Structure 1
Amino acid sequence: MKRITKNVAVAACTAALSFGIFNLSCKVNKGSANVAFAETSPAAVIPQDSLAVTQAMQNTFRSISSSVLPTVVEVDVVEKKKVQVYNPFRDFFKNNPFFSTPESNEKEGDDGFREQEQSGLGSGVIVRKTGKTFYVLTNNHVAGNAYKIKIKLNDEREFDGKLVGADPRMDVALVSFESDDAKIPVAKLGDSDSMQQGDIVLALGSPLGYFASVTQGIVSATGRSGGQIGSISDFIQTDAAINQGNSGGPLVNIYGEVIGINTWIASSSGGSVGLGFSIPINNIKTAIDQFISDGKITYGWVGISLMEITDEYKEELGIDKKITGALASQLFLESPAIKGGMYPGDYIIELNGHSVKSVDQLVREIGSIPAGKTAEVTVLRGKEKKNLKIKIDGRDEKLVSDNSKLWPGFIASPLSDENRKKLKIDNDKVKGIVVAGVTEKTPAAALRLQNGDIICAVNDKKIETVEEFYRALQLEGKKEIWFDVYSEGHTISTGRYKF
């Protein structure tokens, strides 16, 4: 969910003002005949016991709002962005050979783009205080690229903000400001793992520029994944109205505890349709400490490329389709995973004693393990269960982006009837696995493998299934590996990849 730009907020306020003037001009005089006014109408008759319950709920919402709103802030930001400027005269003279000259009138670096300031706003919540320094939690897409930040408190005081740290993978950021006022409150963080469907929640922030707003709803679901922002978090889904500008604001429970940070909405119109999503606060708690101490989040890393697989793929691996987990389809050479005894094709079913339900869950949980710690990982290698101990490293983006270390560098896909049809393989004697998703600069690319190739043998040992391929791919005792490849009616051997 993108933050709202200030001019949208101004337009909203202008529209509201115009509407108010129109209402004043249509006011009816009290002296008019046959006119009944609201203050003369009888109030609804409500049973006392029912009214007591409703009043108690109303008092609860009032208490939550009055307690939490002083910790909620508006985050005003200014970013510098390059925008393309259309200049028909420059383009005409630049591209017309009759006006070309050795000397250009264009200034150095004038490539048709201009740096422009863009202001916007989002929300945040004060989560920490150290001396005179207050820390505000918000979204990366709100403050992560800002070069000017203003923090506006609930009492409308403003402070200069400073970006402490930001992380695009989780879409969180931490901003600080200084104040001598020791009475500025700090929000209490709750336990997002305890939230269940149907729990009552309130969303606070500045939607569409309407400062210090509160909306109420329930937890629609937990453990949601996906979204437009590519975050690795799972999400709390809520029908509490969340709009542009709510980004970074807190989602709180009935105890006034922050259990989520509002992040994005699913909407075809750009406005709330009751599908709002918040990052669970338990995902962020350690990030706050890391931002303050290091200015960044350091993720745990073991060197695995993971993928979800279908029931048919599980059958190819010899795994019961009811078993949940994540496939280690590729590994980084010399990574913690390989040093710990893992192989490509291992199906990870447990991490530190609890079940793995999905790839996203496993990525989050490995990322949350500090570097230097040892994780206990249970895998299925075919039908055989293996318990491995893997020492976690810190995630190094340079190493992660080095495809030359990714083994084998492609996805092994079953040679199913459907794939045979797509690849136009009529010869039933051709057995093996299909090469898919070859990655540049990997060992597979170095061996000249291409998408659609059929690997029939590994080190001259014939293979027919994905399970047999991964078993033959195991590195133990091997100094080199080569493949027999069937392509366009021919079978050839690749070069030898040496370890």
Structure 2
Amino acid sequence: MFRKLSAVIIVLILSVSCGAAKQEKPAQSGEQQPKAETIAPVHPEHQPDASESSRVTPTVLAIRKIEDSVVNIRTEKTVETNVSPFFNDPFFDDFFGLRKRSYKTQSLGSGVMIREDGTVVTNFHVVKDATTIFVITRDNANYEAEFVGGDESIDLAILKIKDQTKKFPAAALGTSSDIMLGEPIIAIGNPYGLSSSVTTGVISATARMMNIGNNYSVFIQTDALINPGNSGGPLININGEVIGINTAIHRQAQGIGFSIPMDTIKRVLPEIMKSGKLRRGHVGFTVKDTAKGEDMMPVIESVEKGSNAEEIGLKAGDEVVEVGGVPINSEEVMYHILRSYPPDSSVEIGIKRADGTFKGRLVLTERPSDFGLIHLDTKYGIAVSEKDGYLTVAKSEGTKYITVGDIVVALNGTELDNLEQLSRLIEDNQDKPFILTVYRDGRLLQIKLNP
């Protein structure tokens, strides 16, 4: 009886053990079992748990603050070209002529929202000559945008999304006036639609003079990689504030990036939004490069009576050593820096005299309507007046190639109709060489005048 009962108990224990083995298969060594999780909403303001809190650095937090404001910019441009229908055979081309063919090209870049109404800042070269502009936001929504205005000399453009039915996430704008050498920075872009492309680095120079084409401008220099696709995106500090706009002006440079300072953008933004371009302010004095020992330095030649320059005490003979905190070593550099100072803005001027170095703050004013003619006279010693329906040289003291009595017929190939047109074209070419075409003794002569 006892033996039978023991056998029954053993059978029951084995049955229970086998059933348990079928229900729970033991994990193999090194094998992790999947766990079911309740579906939960993903909140954009993700709060890290204890396991990842140490990885959420100030850099991560700064990027989270601005990434929704960074956009991709796609442009279309229509290009027309002459095409030979006869395999470029000169005989048939001369006889039948060339055919015009148009095609579209595309370019990509980045930008950043600075206002909730869809105002976007980017580089001028990203949207130059574009016929159609699209802004693509981080959620991959496409919006057509219009070109509000810009300035090629500082590589800055302002766009506005046409859709006015919604508000857009605007970035927080900081200042570039207090940036520090070695300060950590973050460059963000949206190249080729790849949102939140990030590079990091430090401030290498706070005010670096660089040449863009034929123009000098001031940039922030960093060691963060900035490629053409990231061009136009924001440079931010560790607080997530925009301190500059990245620009790929040196595509061959290794480990060097440049950004337009935020204070420059703030200074020119109202002027560009108002008139579509950057008008230059009037300083009220002229300078000329003069030998100072072995160096050439810009020295003030004349100061206008009643001007702000006279009011703050500038005098002929003063050596200009600094403008806007940037050291100056030539007339050309000085005028290029002043390009980003529109009327009613102010700039700090540093000058040197025999008795020391002094600084003053100059408020720029509206330029006179005949500024170009004044510049032609003060810079080149050439005065032009209307005589018998022609633009005639009335004075020529700066060059032997133009004489009194010459008739000015064109500037850079553009035929001239009146003094106002001549003045405007000279003002547009103030910092660049330009060519005057004059008529003399039955001949047309071209004379190049260098800045």
TM-score, length basis structure 2: 0.62
Corresponding residue to 1:181 among 141, 166, 171: 166
Query: Partners in 2 of 1:196 and 1:342 — Cα distance?
Result: 31
Superposed displacement of residue 156, structure 1: 0.6
Query: Partners in 1 of 2:151 and 2:369 — Cα distance?
Result: 13
Query: Partners in 1 of 2:73 and 2:346 — Cα distance?
Result: 39
Superposed counterparts of 1:401-480, under 5 Å: 404-408=376-380, 443-444=396-397, 447-448=400-401
Superposed counterparts of 1:27-42, under 5 Å: none
Query: Partners in 2 of 1:198 and 1:389 — Cα distance?
Result: 29
Contact 1:373 1:392 in 2 (8 A): yes
User: What residue identity is the alignment partner of 1:149?
Assistant: I
**Map of 1:140 onto structure 2:** 124
**Map of 2:190 onto structure 1:** 206
Corresponding residue to 2:292 among 314, 317, 337: 314
Contact 1:407 1:442 in 2 (8 A): no
Is the aligned partner of 1:124 residue 2:100?
no
Query: Partners in 2 of 1:95 and 1:365 — Cα distance?
Result: 49
Superposed displacement of residue 174, structure 1: 0.7
**Map of 1:284 onto structure 2:** 265
User: What residue identity is the alignment partner of 1:218?
Assistant: V
Contact 1:346 1:381 in 2 (8 A): yes
Query: Partners in 1 of 2:61 and 2:101 — Cα distance?
Result: 49
Given the superposition, is the C-alpha separation of residues 333 and 408 from structure 1 closer, same or farther in structure 2, using an over 3 Å criterion?
farther
Superposed displacement of residue 64, structure 1: 1.9
Contact 2:228 2:251 in 1 (8 A): no
User: What residue identity is the alignment partner of 1:65?
Assistant: I
Corresponding residue to 2:139 among 155, 161, 164: 155
Query: Partners in 2 of 1:449 and 1:342 — Cα distance?
Result: 33
Superposed displacement of residue 274, structure 1: 1.2
Structure 2 spans left out of the alignment, 5+ residues: 1-29, 33-49, 383-392, 404-451
Q: Deviations over 1:186-230 (max 9, x none)?
A: 100111122122111111113355333112122222211114445
Give SS of 1:394's match: coil
Superposed counterparts of 1:372-391, under 5 Å: none
Percent same amino acid among aligned pairs? 28
User: What residue identity is the alignment partner of 1:405?
Assistant: D
**Map of 2:412 onto structure 1:** none
**Map of 1:495 onto structure 2:** none
Superposed counterparts of 1:15-34, under 5 Å: none
Given the superposition, is the C-alpha separation of residues 384 and 403 from structure 1 closer, same or farther in structure 2, using an over 3 Å criterion?
same
Q: Deviations over 1:249-304 (max 9, x none)?
A: 00111100111100125343xxx721111111111012222222332222212376
Query: Partners in 2 of 1:284 and 1:383 — Cα distance?
Result: 36
* Corresponding residue pairs, total: 343
- Name the structure where strand makes up a greater proportion of residues: 2
Corresponding residue to 2:209 among 203, 220, 225: 225
- State the Cα RMSD in Å: 4.5
Is the aligned partner of 1:72 residue 2:25?
no
Superposed displacement of residue 342, structure 1: 7.3
Contact 2:180 2:206 in 1 (8 A): yes
**Map of 2:220 onto structure 1:** 236
Query: Partners in 1 of 2:64 and 2:351 — Cα distance?
Result: 50
Contact 1:336 1:390 in 2 (8 A): no
Q: Deviations over 1:285-335 (max 9, x none)?
A: 1222222233222221237665767xxx2128xxxx7xxx95147779999
TM-score, length basis structure 1: 0.56
Corresponding residue to 1:392 among 360, 364, 367: 364
**Map of 1:60 onto structure 2:** 58
**Map of 2:390 onto structure 1:** none
Is the aligned partner of 1:251 residue 2:235?
yes
Query: Partners in 1 of 2:148 and 2:338 — Cα distance?
Result: 24
User: What residue identity is the alignment partner of 1:348?
Assistant: V
Query: Partners in 2 of 1:301 and 1:115 — Cα distance?
Result: 43
Superposed displacement of residue 139, structure 1: 0.8
Q: Deviations over 1:395-438 (max 9, x none)?
A: 5898448863243459xxxxxxxxxxxxxxxxxxxxxxxxxxxx
Query: Partners in 1 of 2:132 and 2:286 — Cα distance?
Result: 38
Given the superposition, is the C-alpha separation of residues 377 and 201 from structure 1 closer, same or farther in structure 2, using an over 3 Å criterion?
closer
Given the superposition, is the C-alpha separation of residues 442 and 134 from structure 1 closer, same or farther in structure 2, using an over 3 Å criterion?
farther
User: What residue identity is the alignment partner of 1:274?
Assistant: G
Give SS of 2:171's match: coil
Q: Deviations over 1:77-128 (max 9, x none)?
A: 11233445455556523676xxx6xxxx44xxx6x76443221111100001
Is the aligned partner of 1:302 residue 2:295?
no
Contact 2:115 2:169 in 1 (8 A): no
Contact 1:250 1:259 in 2 (8 A): yes
**Map of 1:3 onto structure 2:** none
Given the superposition, is the C-alpha separation of residues 338 and 277 from structure 1 closer, same or farther in structure 2, using an over 3 Å criterion?
closer
Query: Partners in 1 of 2:401 and 2:354 — Cα distance?
Result: 28
Contact 1:125 1:187 in 2 (8 A): yes
Give SS of 1:277's match: strand
Give SS of 1:233's match: strand
Query: Partners in 2 of 1:400 and 1:315 — Cα distance?
Result: 32
Query: Partners in 1 of 2:100 and 2:317 — Cα distance?
Result: 48
Give SS of 1:404's match: helix
Is the aligned partner of 1:371 residue 2:343?
yes
Give SS of 1:288's match: helix
Query: Partners in 2 of 1:197 and 1:389 — Cα distance?
Result: 25
Query: Partners in 2 of 1:210 and 1:167 — Cα distance?
Result: 27
Contact 1:75 1:151 in 2 (8 A): yes
Q: Deviations over 1:34-92 (max 9, x none)?
A: xxx9x9xxxxxxxxxxxx9x964643222222221100001111123344545555652
Query: Partners in 1 of 2:275 and 2:226 — Cα distance?
Result: 32
Give SS of 1:300's match: coil
Q: Deviations over 1:108-156 (max 9, x none)?
A: xx6x764432211111000013xxx310000111124222111100111
